[in-house]
């Protein structure tokens, strides 16, 4: 049985224009989803603020704790 010849596509180098176009598409998609989430549920902003306050409260509590002195 003769070996099967595999044809490969030529490799096209990534030009700066192709890279820039890809970044714009990714940025647009992410921005679109962020806007949709913020518009669909306005409570997200208050939840985010509350989560940041809770984390800071836990952080400041951990910093205020005294460590036992080694004997």
pLDDT the model gives residue 33: 92
Quote the pTM value: 0.41
pLDDT above 90 for 67: no
Instruction: Retrieve residue 46's tokens.
Output: 């208050």
d(CA 49, CA 55): 10
Structural domain contains residue 66? yes
Q: Which of 1-5, 20-24, 52-56, 64-68 bottoms out in mean pLDDT, i.e. has the lowest?
A: 1-5
Scanning 1-71, the segments in alpha helix (DSSP H) are 16-40, 43-64
Structural domain contains residue 14? no
How many domains is the chain partitioned into structurally? 1
pLDDT the model gives residue 21: 72
Structural domain contains residue 9? no
Instruction: Retrieve residue 10's tokens.
Output: 């030529």
Structural domain contains residue 20? no
């Amino acid at each position: 049985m003769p070996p099967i010849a595999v044809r490969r596509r030529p490799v096209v180098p990534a030009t700066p224009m192709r890279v820039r176009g890809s970044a714009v598409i990714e940025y647009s998609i992410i921005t679109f989803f962020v806007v949709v989430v913020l518009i669909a549920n306005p409570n997200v902003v208050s939840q985010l603020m509350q989560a940041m306050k809770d984390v800071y409260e836990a952080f400041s509590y951990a910093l205020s704790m005294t460590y036992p002195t080694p004997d």
